[in-house]
Amino acid sequence: MKLKKTKPNRIKIMRYWQFAIILAIVATALYIYIRNQHIGQNKVFDVASHMDETVVTVDGVELTMTDMMFYITYEENQVEQKAKVYNPKDTNEYWNLHVNGKFVRLEAQDYIIEMAVHDEIFYTKAVEEELELSANDQEYLDAKKSDFWDDLDDEQYENLERLSITKEQLNEAMFRATLAQKYQEQLQEEGSSEYDFDDYNADGYAYEQILESEHTYSVNEELWDEVSIGNVTYTHGAEYNR
């Protein structure tokens, strides 16, 4: 008696691979979600005790957590305003959205670094070339400072005070950013006509070419990864960064 060879059940095999792929996707999404939630709500990170520690080093210049506070405060405020429109009752929902392959919270965290690096490079260049703010530049800076302070929420004011961040420190950061912008304007005027001002922004193509070819920076990821952006000058239902 001959035994018949049985053909593999292709449908079962296809279902198996479909299940395996779905499982891998779910596992990846879960990992990203946990990373975004900062390894769980029970982990408390005290930002106030790390204000003097280096977050990023740009061309050998160390920027501390205190130096980063203007960018953190500004970006948190910008995202929070969008979050209030998305869900006024629970703004944390917007912070945890996954858009274009990245969580809003982590995208904001990356952009804070990008802005700080950009302004440090261009500010240093401005100082080297002895650029100064004109009367018009000063008016622009004054308006910028006024808008910044008017836009802050009461909660942000309270948390800045708790973190011992002064108005003078943030105003100085805005001065440096404005001088950096003046260098950016000069760079655009003297550079290739194919690039406009925005191409030299922190996320602009022309700037990225300069950054890659002429400058270096490194992030203290061990420290920076501990910071839950969205919960420094705000608190979204968990005692992060306290």
Same structural domain for residues 193 and 81?
yes
In-domain check, residue 2: no
231: in domain: no
Per-residue pLDDT of the chain (242 residues), as tens digits, is 444 444 556 666 666 666 767 776 665 556 555 555 544 444 568 899 999 999 999 999 999 999 999 999 999 999 999 999 999 999 999 999 998 888 999 999 999 999 999 999 999 999 999 999 999 999 999 999 999 999 999 999 999 999 999 999 999 999 999 999 999 999 999 987 889 999 999 999 999 999 999 999 999 999 999 999 999 999 885 554 55
The answer to the question of residue 162 being in a domain is yes
At residue 31, the pLDDT reads 52
Torsions phi, psi of 41, nearest 5? Answer: -80, -10
Residue 241 lies in a domain: no
159-171: burial string, b at 16+ Cβ within 10 Å, e else: bbeebebeeeebb
**Same domain (yes/no): 119, 76:** yes
Same domain, 220 and 165: yes
Q: Count the Cβ atoms, other than its own, within 10 Å of residue 199.
A: 19
Residue 233 counted as domain residue: no
Q: How many domains does one find in the chain?
A: 2
**Is residue 189 domain-resident?**
yes
Six token digits for residue 233:
């000058």
User: Which of 66, 142, 131, 105 lies closest to 236, judged by CA?
Assistant: 105
Domain with 18, as residue range(s), is 8-37
19 with 58, same domain? no
Residue 79: inside a domain, yes or no? yes
Do residues 69 and 118 share a domain? yes
Sort strands 54-58 and 102-103 into parallel, antiparallel or unpaired: unpaired
| Residue 206 placed within a domain | yes
Euclidean distance between CA atoms 91 and 226, whole angstroms: 21
Give the 3-state DSSP-derived string for 20-87, with helices as H, strands as E and coil as C: HHHHHHHHHHHHHHHHHCCCCCCCCCCHHHHCCCEEEEECCEEEEHHHHHHHHHHHHHHHHHHHHHHC
Looking at residue 63, its pLDDT comes to 98
What is residue 43's predicted lDDT score, i.e. its pLDDT?
Answer: 54
- pTM (2 d.p.): 0.81
| 150 shares its domain with 198 | yes
* 21 and 79 fall within a common domain: no
